[in-house]
Structure 1
Amino acid sequence: MTTHNTALDVLVVDDEDDIAKLLAEILIEEGFSPRIAHNSDEAFAKIEQKVPAAIILDIWLQGSEIDGLGILEIVKKRYPLMPIIVISGHGTIQTAVTAIKLGAYNYIEKPFTHDKLMIMLKRACESSRLKRENLDLKAKVIDKTEIIGTSSCVNKLKSQVEKIAPTSGRVLMTGNAGVGKELFARILHKKSKNANGPFIRFSPTGMSVEKIQQDLFGDPEKNDVTGVYTYRTSLFEAAHNGTLYIDEVADIPLQVQIRLLQTIQSQNIEKNGRTIKIETRIIAATTRNLEQEINNGKFNKDLYYRLNVIPLHIPDLAERKDDIPILVDYFVHQLVKSSGLKPRIFAPDSIAALQAYNWPGNIRELRNVVEWSMIMNPVNNDEDKMIRFDMLPPCVLSDSANLVATNSEHLVDVMSLPLREAREIFEKQYLSAQMSRFNNNISKTSAFIGMERSALHRKLKLLNIYSNKFKLDQEMGNELAN
């Protein structure tokens, strides 16, 4: 019995018009909505117009610039979950194996029965649906494209992202290693008009000029065994109607920078004698000062201006220590879901130590510290699930020890001093640690320790631990001027 419960769009790619029309009639009978393409140009145009739910693809396409296997390779790189059934009247075992390796759902030889093709197509669509649902479920369990934090600088970033994401403008992100530049790139993609398109990441660091050009532009690659040159799908093609994220763009050599500039200007690439139109949003990122790199002759000035349409700076974790408690809870939740670790709670003294630490590795280092603490301090039975200060890794302990504990050797030293001197040592260590914890913000530090801001300011000057870096509010600024 024919079912008409679904109207999935299916693209039939076959150079023989009679066969294509026959397949289309069968698909209509089975409740599908078919479209027809006779060659690679038509196929890519139809896909760009509307991404189909599945593709029935002939291997041998007379008069087509790219054969069925070439189409298969390009489509699967752009749409990894796309179910594609490959058909052929001149098939070999090797062709079938190649098609499966390139990502085809299955391979079927002509002539084939109506029922066999429909059963295979329905299974392919159902398998694709289940994979998508599984990915959606995982994304709901662990959303890795979420901005975590409520600090002022994070709220500012959230506002910037909301404005930037819907546009097609190129973005240049700056920030130190580990601050989460790729995360922000993914968020911009997720909130963009091309959110359903591919997000392709490219890092040129440590790559040769030849390899970079092969990846970015699809330059021919020589097979070491056969000596034959083959063309691969370029990253610009793979990211068509999506986002190409270039990590550490400053590592691209100058000669390739010029070619990248030309590609951005022309919006197409030259490959194997063909001009390929590209519709790709570029988000570039760097840890370096590109203006300084330009002055040193290491970065192309015109490329800089092309990339830097919308600048976005991602701050260090040390600039947003208020977010550390929220980030810790987020990472604990992530690790419980992804690694099967038992839920833990970081005690107030451990949170204080984490906030006092300087975080040279930024967000990435914080996640590693949370994971290390959970792994190295396993919960046994109904034991206390609290992660205390002394359970943190050595790097944090050595940097934050003065905030929470005094070692025995220091205690002996203090015991030999008069009360006034001992109290001064304690106050200096305590206030230095608390100021570090609250990122040198006098207002927040005074609120936490229960001291008036003016009194705290005088105490800091008295103990000679005042620094120009302290973030005073406007009232305190007036007081300091006097």
Structure 2
Amino acid sequence: MSSDHKILIVDDEPDIRALVGGILEDEGYDVYHAATHQETFAQIDAVKPDLVLLDIWLENSAKDGIGILEDIQDLDREVALPVIMMSGHGNIETAVKALHIGAFDFIEKPFKTERLLLIVSRALELNQLKRENKFLRSTNQLREEREIVGKSSAAEHLRSIVSKISATNSRVLLTGQAGVGKDFIARLLHEHSTRKDKPFMAVNCGSMHPDRFDIELFGCLEGVQGEPERIGLLERSNGGTLFLDEVGDMPYETQGKIVRILQEQRFEKIGSTSPIELDIRVIASSSYDLDALINDGRFRQDLLYRLNVVSVDVPSLKARQKDIPMLCDAFSKELCKKSDIEQFTFSASAMSALMSYDWPGNMRQLRNVIEWLMIMKASTGKTLIEPDDLPPEIISKLPKSVAVERHEDLLAMPLKDARASFERDYLSAQIQRFNGNITKAAEAIGMERSALHRKIKSLDIHPQDEKHGMDSAHEMGKNEPLNQESNNKYQKTG
């Protein structure tokens, strides 16, 4: 244990201070002593301890341990100073009162060395997590990145829902295709909640091995399955938010344990019978049809009931195509800033190509494409992206009207003819993008419907299939199958 950790022992008995101090010093802690209220705060001001061990009963002190605890809680600190209460003749009422005031834990004398060291280690580890969370917030990076970008109706609706539910403690189930940004929304909900100063812990249920799931989630005592003593993600997130990402992949046996924990608001570490009180907000996500999983016996209906207090369907990128220019700008600004290179922009034809693409991988795929462009163009010094700069996965899917071979044709034309040719190709691509729906095409490009009809006529464009009111969202791509299995009945469509 690093000697960077400083522990203050407050007890009126010198023998107790010496005994406890010796145990802690053997573990490498820096130990300081106090016997009264006045000495306690003199030491806090002088050495700024990371943890206080505080006896309940103090003779010749202006205040007893409970009074000192209350004063410690009133200190103006970015992260509260953790306090472990000690007593040789405590009772349940005293312990409950101390915990209610803000004590981290309560330990009765005489205590076993192993228990003392376990509680001290746990308190310091959780306090370190709080400090790290505080540092991340102080850099303001999280807040800058986590805003819903876009002005489409889908983005505005999502922004409105997040605003309404972020301040509540209600459990939330986020649904939607893979890659739409459900983890992004989960963090946004946490950062705009009353728990924003507490930990946010994410559990990727799909990537964690089933044999490790319970240990990582609940933690364990030393020796369980040959493990060292471990603080699980539930305990790490206490007071904050726990995000169960792709909850449909959670082992069925673990699902039952989660149901009980959500009902009782407490749990036990593996190998322990001592309950740990839990105060967390749970946000879950799934790109699968959980009802289909329930029907197949792979997901518990009672867990779905408890998770699905508020349901938010995160729209696909195809439903937010109007937002693609703003998203491209936001991603390129973020990534280029991190790499300390000049931000690149997109030509009108390149942006038209991006907006014509279906984006089966949604927001994740768009961000990856922007990062790919940044890497490929960084060495050239080129800052304007043209259609032929786009990755093959997009070029191969483009309609012929915006394909790369048109680039050389345009360069050979006079300006007037090139402009007309580009407008013809651009409008044809937009009309094709919306399956012939002139109203939606006009809205997307910012023209009045009547003006677009006149432009179509003047450019001699012949829409093959004008389908007013068709919802392109019905043609969404499918998600990745559950646990990489080819089982279409679990896949959600847009």
**Pair 1:28-2:41 in alignment:** yes
- 2:352 and 2:426 in contact (8 A); partners too: no
SS in 1 for 2:243: strand
1:267–1:349 distance in 2 versus 1, CA, 3 Å:
same
Please give the alpha-carbon distance, in whole angstroms, between the structure 2 residues aligned to 1:64 and 1:460. 86
1:352–1:24 distance in 2 versus 1, CA, 3 Å:
farther
Please give the alpha-carbon distance, in whole angstroms, between the structure 2 residues aligned to 1:46 and 1:209. 43
Q: What corresponds to 1:295 in structure 2?
A: 295
Please give the alpha-carbon distance, in whole angstroms, between the structure 2 residues aligned to 1:151 and 1:207. 36
**Pair 1:247-2:260 in alignment:** no
Q: What corresponds to 1:340 in structure 2?
A: 340
Q: What corresponds to 2:280 in structure 1?
A: 280
SS in 2 for 1:158: helix
Cα drift, residue 28 of structure 1: 3.0
List aligned pairs for 1:249-268, cutoff 5 A. 249-268=247-266
Q: What corresponds to 1:71 in structure 2?
A: 119
1:26–1:240 distance in 2 versus 1, CA, 3 Å:
same
Deviations 1:76-133 (A, max 9, x none): 54333567xxxxxxxxxxxxxxxxxxxxxxxxxxxxxxxxxxxxxxxxxxxx8xx956
Deviations 1:129-156 (A, max 9, x none): xx9567523517x723221111111111
Which residue of the other structure, out of 431, 442, 446, is the alignment partner of 2:442?
446
Which residue of the other structure, out of 231, 234, 241, is the alignment partner of 1:233?
231
Cα drift, residue 71 of structure 1: 3.2
1:22–1:347 distance in 2 versus 1, CA, 3 Å:
farther
Please give the alpha-carbon distance, in whole angstroms, between the structure 2 residues aligned to 1:291 and 1:432. 41
Please give the alpha-carbon distance, in whole angstroms, between the structure 2 residues aligned to 1:401 and 1:162. 38
Q: What corresponds to 1:80 in structure 2?
A: 128
Cα drift, residue 282 of structure 1: 0.5
SS in 1 for 2:304: helix
Cα drift, residue 214 of structure 1: 1.2
Q: What corresponds to 1:212 in structure 2?
A: 213
1:48–1:334 distance in 2 versus 1, CA, 3 Å:
farther
Cα drift, residue 468 of structure 1: 6.5
1:25–1:377 distance in 2 versus 1, CA, 3 Å:
same
**Pair 1:199-2:195 in alignment:** no
Please give the alpha-carbon distance, in whole angstroms, between the structure 2 residues aligned to 1:433 and 1:222. 64
Aligned residues: 395
- 1:78 and 1:198 in contact (8 A); partners too: no
List aligned pairs for 1:74-473, cutoff 5 A. 74-80=122-128, 136-137=138-139, 139=141, 143-220=144-221, 222=223, 227=226, 230-271=228-269, 272-378=272-378, 380=380, 385-405=383-403, 407=405, 433-435=429-431, 437=433, 442-446=438-442, 448=445, 452=450, 455=453, 463-464=464-465, 466=467, 469-470=470-471
1:299–1:69 distance in 2 versus 1, CA, 3 Å:
same
- 1:173 and 1:311 in contact (8 A); partners too: yes
TM-score (norm 2): 0.68
Please give the alpha-carbon distance, in whole angstroms, between the structure 2 residues aligned to 1:326 and 1:181. 19
Please give the alpha-carbon distance, in whole angstroms, between the structure 1 residues aligned to 2:257 and 2:275. 14
Stretches of structure 2 that go unaligned for 5 or more consecutive residues are 1-5, 18-32, 57-64, 86-106, 410-422, 474-494
Deviations 1:24-74 (A, max 9, x none): 63453478399954489x99x98996785556999x995457745423443
- 2:437 and 2:466 in contact (8 A); partners too: no
TM-score (norm 1): 0.69
1:364–1:208 distance in 2 versus 1, CA, 3 Å:
closer
Cα drift, residue 392 of structure 1: 0.9
1:186–1:244 distance in 2 versus 1, CA, 3 Å:
same
Please give the alpha-carbon distance, in whole angstroms, between the structure 2 residues aligned to 1:342 and 1:214. 45
Please give the alpha-carbon distance, in whole angstroms, between the structure 1 residues aligned to 2:169 and 2:339. 37
Cα drift, residue 464 of structure 1: 3.5
1:307–1:11 distance in 2 versus 1, CA, 3 Å:
farther
Please give the alpha-carbon distance, in whole angstroms, between the structure 2 residues aligned to 1:278 and 1:153. 35
- 2:248 and 2:290 in contact (8 A); partners too: yes
2:156 maps to a residue whose letter is N
Please give the alpha-carbon distance, in whole angstroms, between the structure 2 residues aligned to 1:192 and 1:63. 41
Please give the alpha-carbon distance, in whole angstroms, between the structure 1 residues aligned to 2:83 and 2:263. 36
1:356 maps to a residue whose letter is S
- 1:250 and 1:286 in contact (8 A); partners too: yes
SS in 1 for 2:318: helix
- 1:216 and 1:236 in contact (8 A); partners too: yes
Please give the alpha-carbon distance, in whole angstroms, between the structure 1 residues aligned to 2:435 and 2:400. 16
Kindly, what percent of the aligned residue pairs are identical?
31
SS in 1 for 2:195: coil
1:443 maps to a residue whose letter is T
1:252–1:443 distance in 2 versus 1, CA, 3 Å:
same
Q: What corresponds to 1:102 in structure 2?
A: none
2:202 maps to a residue whose letter is R
